Structure 1
């Protein structure tokens, strides 16, 4: 094809073929075509490139008259055309500017501007050279766009020593800041993977009401539907709404800089259409069509969302606007980067079945739809397993494949994924995966038992302190008396049995068995004698060290032993029937929590049978070196994906999953913290209130993140607790108005003072250690649920190294000058599904 020609592909993709023939760049005389647009124009969303193959690229821009509003609905502008030029000459000095490209052109094409597509342009250039850096520019009338660049992929059979790329997700305009984008722009990258939530369809929702950088003004949807009633939060409901969001997001110079510098490989997640969406159904609470028990389906809205994504994302896909229904676009696709990597990108929204337990399912306790809790979040695992099995059986009964009604990928895409993985010849198979494959479960029984035990420590300590006086200052004896009484002994028997235990303890060489026998001989039951001996021993040992223990330490040793040696096991064994649950008056409130939960069934935990089928495919076909690159959950996670998490020992690791935090969206911890406020004592599984006085600034009221430990983070030390809260304290100081130049030094001083705070170094430490001891999700090797940031990947034949880059929080109303707060490295070695953390 002649370079001056183009053909229409799908709706409005144009294409041209690059040539090696030298053309004069636009700064001098040119034999290239003249653009029909005339006068002054502008490129308010700059330029972008996407889907780099070894021989092709998609180039994108949006051009409007200089007098037009940057983001408003475009009216009164006639269709015309503009020019796009491409060169392999080094134009790095022109990046960030609209300076004319220099060097010989390898492509020069005229491309149409059509108002029906909001004057966006998608142009595919083929015939390019593999593994080559190109520069491009659009020209409209008298105006040049900023210079863009991209790098083509290596040839399929090329030996590639290294690839480096970043992956990112969840960039909510309305909360926090986009400083991470500046950091990404400074990285040395081959391309960028975007895993979705490029825009957020809602404006003014509850999760968008926190602090935001001042350079992001309030969004105003052209049409916008109210989520509830006639005021408050709105959601995008028309093509104009969705277009507005892309246009507004893309006016940020930092996002423009990323698109100008690197080709994107992008998929969508849910917020490009609707939160936790499936197919064309929205799942907002209160939106259920209770007449037929289903979620509200919005085909027109889904089609509008897909069209806007197609218009504004430089992806090599086709939208069929003439096709009926909402599945008129296919975005799952794959990319080959030499012999080193095959990248498979999937669509986990357009074909997925309804959540296994629908939000519209009626809660028998209230007679109302479940909504999020119980359907997508905090789902009882045994209920989920039962319903999933029923749905699979029902599908089989009507002649469908078993996974048809419980699938995230859908039948066609699932087979495509399996085929791609099985046939891949590259060393690494990476999967652009929207939602996490890692099991994120919670043993509610153990968690409640731990919390009740912790809550009893203060009361037990008071009882021991009071009893010490009656025993003449004998701490071990007093603690043993309280232990026996806690286990149900009468006051008289408790004193008698504890005295017998003390006497047995005084016998040189006596064993624990002999001490328990002495207690039983004095009238205690075996359980009462056992906890009394354990408590006596703990306090005795605490007081026999080289350094004399304080009375508080002795009392604490006794209280902790009783709480976790007797109360916790009793609650674990008897659940809501435990005398300690009944004594707390919380039997009704806690009864629903004595079971196992899946924390997030919008993820792969909610499509467990299909996940097992995919992992079985990898395992049976010996497909190795598979790593998922994941977003969505606004947290950093790393771990191995098993063939069956419910099997003994958690199953066999098959692949790895590396989850990146959101660019700006509020963290998973913040969402859970806010939701947990209605759960009473259960909130302690998520957060711990911490008041930190700071001279001259008042008190920092922090919410310490305990969710990490509940989910499986290793037991902390005081030092690791301090480091964990560093970013939050820095952010809280910045919110108080402290200049950034003083933030790091002041943060360190506050942390030093916090170390001396007994509430922090004793109470909080004990709670975090006990929650870590629950042993939930041992396959999670790293988790940071309260973070924003991105991930940088360096890939070689021998290993994949992922650097999780957490960013600092807002400083007043601005993004921090020091963007990256900490870096955690996850490594996956070739031939292994294990993840190591440093």
Structure 2
């Protein structure tokens, strides 16, 4: 990671928001495109004409539908109009397009609960976000969109229970890391068939790296991808096209249509291993913030997120809280946007004074305060923390001379201590952390003192492996012996691809590690590699 540049954060954000007018940068092609990305007007403020949707001659719903962030009386519905998704603009003119929507109690739409009309704006790449309110709590619904004579695939979603409801069971899944060029989304096909209330996506929904004409490890034989995918994403158009590529995958579309998602990002949705305002490589900080603004805007456009999450330039508040009755509170974190720069570089390093500086933060002060305040007022039985990078300590070798990952919470031990101490001070008895990022499945005991194996266990961490990143993987990775011997609080380690299925009840949390043997070829079966439980009031991880 580069060293910090001598500019204040406020000054850099001013550059990112107003570069189109102030011209602080050399006007390279990339910079000009990024300036355009940041200064796009809000929907409805541009003088775009309205297109008669009956003139759309090709199916515009090529990227499917999605729902997200279920609340007791509402859910967010998403789609995008793109008859030719691999083209800039999706093959549509820069016009406003009316889109009708409906949400029903049944899959045949004979009992419609709500319906309405919205507009797909060119300023948002013809994406649609409909926050449907007035729904019943804890109910399954079916939804669809219409534009002209075209009807979208139908989606299934579910609202959350009332805040005080005493529910006995909640079924969820956690997924992460879905590099298109590393393999097929077979895990999502199986995930679509699960009986779930919600899916948490823990980051790396998108990868910025080039994708060649055959889709990398997919080795496509039925088509060739356009050359504009074979470059790193930098501009808003780059990111939009990359989301179109990912969302065109039928298995990912099936998972979104089957379950509501609650999403958060990690690094690759913008750039590998960035930290706050600091880019991976030595580029001017104002140029990176412009790239970040483009990435954040495309992320919001292409995810089932509400208006409050819509970014302002290079800033976007993604951390938020979801409640499912009195059974579970989910505090969805953003550990990328506000963090201190990594100590000693991005990789595995010997810890020292720089990494152990108590001023270092993974979450930023405001998010940390929000989290701890939320825990203090929580009356939920389970407090679940969906977040991005491994929280538990991971020494790479047993004995002295070990190294730790500076990109994970090990590079921010003071921030981790404040988090775990805050949970203890708030009286959080049943803390479950859901993590992504590392392309393997882990189960950890979270310890009061990771340096003392006999210290009290204060929570459980379950790490979801990747959907495809890292290609096929291995059941026992090469460092399995070293990692398991070096970390006695590590209860499970598996390197296959897949997803994590979690069932919360009033007695226990059960985690099933669902894996597939291969992703470089499609159609692999899914199996449960292992299952673990943590009992309410007894936070240790044990085999089920």
2:434 paired with 1:629: yes
- By relative contact order (CA 8 Å, sep 6+), the higher-ranking structure is 2
Partner of 1:428: 382
Partner residue, 1:70: 85
Structure 1: distance between partners of 2:286 and 2:227? 21
Could you tell me how far apart the structure 1 residues matched to 2:414 and 2:221 are?
A: 45
Query: What whole-Å deviation, never above 9, does each CA across 1:757-798 have from its counterpart, x for those lacking one?
Result: xxxxxxxxxxxxxxxxxx3110001111x2111011111010
1:275 matched to 2:241? The reply is no
**Please, what is the CA RMSD of the aligned residues?**
2.7
Higher helix proportion, which one? Answer: 1
Is the CA contact 2:189–2:251 (under 8 Å) kept in the aligned structure 1? Answer: yes
Contact 1:59–1:122 under 8 Å retained in 2? yes
Q: Does 1:300 align with 2:290?
A: yes
Partner of residue 52, structure 1:
70
CA 1:253/1:799 → structure 2, altered by over 3 Å: closer, same or farther? same
Other-structure match for 2:53? 37
Deviates more, 1:75-84 or 1:428-437: 75-84
- Structure 1 residue matching 2:207: 3-state secondary structure: coil
What is the TM-score of this pair, normalised by structure 1? 0.56
Matched, 1:380 2:350: yes
Name the residue aligned to 1:85. Answer: 102
Contiguous gaps of at least 5 residues in structure 2: 1-40, 45-50
Residues 216, 156 of structure 1: alpha-carbon distance in 2 compared, 3 angstrom cutoff: farther
Give the match for residue 154 of structure 1.
161
Q: What CA deviation, in whole Å up to 9, does each residue of 1:109-142 have, x standing for no partner?
A: 1101111111110010111100111111111001
- Contact persistence 1:436–1:604 (CA under 8 A): yes
Q: 2:119 aligns with which of 108, 112, 123?
A: 112
Give the one of 265, 277, 282 matched to 1:288: 282
Equivalence for 1:705: 477
Residue matched to 2:320 = 333
Query: Aligned-pair distance for 1:217?
Result: 6.3
CA 1:102–1:614 in 2, change beyond 3 Å: closer, same or farther?
closer
For residues 133 and 369 of structure 2, what CA distance do their matches in structure 1 show? Answer: 29
2:403 to 593, 597, 606: 597
The Cα shift of 1:823 comes to 2.4
Matches within 5 A, 1:391-790: 391-392=357-358, 403=359, 406-443=360-397, 446=399, 595-598=401-404, 600-646=405-451, 648-649=452-453, 651-666=455-470, 705-712=477-484, 775-784=485-494, 786-790=495-499
- Counterpart pick for 1:311 among 295, 298, 301: 301
Checking the alignment, whether the CA contact within 8 Å between 1:430 and 1:629 is kept in structure 2 is: yes
2:238 and 2:499 map into 1 onto residues whose CA distance is 28
Secondary structure in structure 1 of the residue aligned to 2:417:
helix
Question: Is 1:828 aligned to 2:534, yes or no?
Answer: yes
Q: Which SS does the other structure have where 1:138 is aligned?
A: strand
- Going from structure 1 to structure 2, the CA distance change for 1:86 and 1:174 (only over 3 Å counts) comes to same
Alpha-carbon distance change, 377 to 315 in structure 1, aligned in 2, over 3 angstroms: same
* Structure 1 residue 169, shift from structure 2 partner: 0.7
Tell me: CA distance 1:380–1:188, structure 2 relative to 1, closer, same or farther (3 Å).
same
1:634 touches 1:668 (CA, 8 Å); kept in 2?
Answer: no
Q: Please state whether the residue corresponding to 1:834 is helix, strand or coil.
A: strand
| Aligned 8 A contact 1:300 1:326 in 2 | yes
1:147-178 CA distances to partner (integer Å, 9 max, x unpaired)? 11101111111111111111111111001221
Change (3 A) 1:302 1:832: same
Matched, 1:247 2:244: yes
| TM-aligned CA deviation for residue 255 of structure 1 | 1.0
- Alpha-carbon contact 2:300-2:310 (below 8 Å) kept: no
The alpha carbon displacement at 1:821 in A equals 4.2
Q: Could you give the per-residue CA deviations for residues 808-834 of structure 1, whole angstroms, max 9, x where no partner exists?
A: 115xx6313x42144200111101220
Q: Does 1:803 align with 2:512?
A: yes
Residues 1:711 and 1:126: Cα distance change in structure 2 (over 3 Å): same
* 1:656 Cα deviation from its structure 2 partner: 0.9
Say if 1:429 and 1:145 are closer, same or farther in 2 by CA, change over 3 A: same
Q: Please state whether the residue corresponding to 2:244 is helix, strand or coil.
A: helix
| Equivalent-residue separation in structure 1 for 2:276 and 2:63 (angstroms) | 29
- Separation in 1, partners of 2:526, 2:219: 17
Higher strand share: 2
Aligned residues: 494
Change (3 A) 1:166 1:388: closer
Residue aligned with 2:308, SS: coil
Corresponding residue number in structure 2 for 1:256 = 253
125, 136, 145: which one aligns with 1:129: 136
1:815 pairs with 510, 522, 542, which one? 522
Aligned CA distance change for structure 1 residues 106 and 822 (closer, same or farther; 3 Å)? closer
Deviation at 1:85, TM superposition (A): 1.1
- Cα shift readout 1:688-713 (whole Å, capped 9, x = no counterpart): xxxxxxxxxxxxxxx9733111101x
The alpha-carbon distance between structure 1 residues 54 and 36, as it changes in their structure 2 partners (threshold 3 A), is farther
The separation in 2 between residues aligned to 1:827 and 1:180, in whole angstroms, is 22
Shift of 1:649: 3.4
1:425: Cα distance to partner? 0.4
Q: Which string of whole-angstrom CA distances, capped at 9 and with x for unpartnered residues, describes residues 281-326 of structure 1? A: 321xxx336xxxx9896011000000001001001243566x4x52
| Cα distance in 2, alignment partners of residues 708 and 46 from structure 1 | 39
Answer whether contact 1:345 1:431 (CA < 8 A) is retained: yes
Q: Tell me if the contact between 1:280 and 1:326 (Cα under 8 Å) persists in the aligned partners.
A: no
* Separation in structure 2 between the aligned mates of residue 710 and residue 73 of structure 1, nearest angstrom: 48
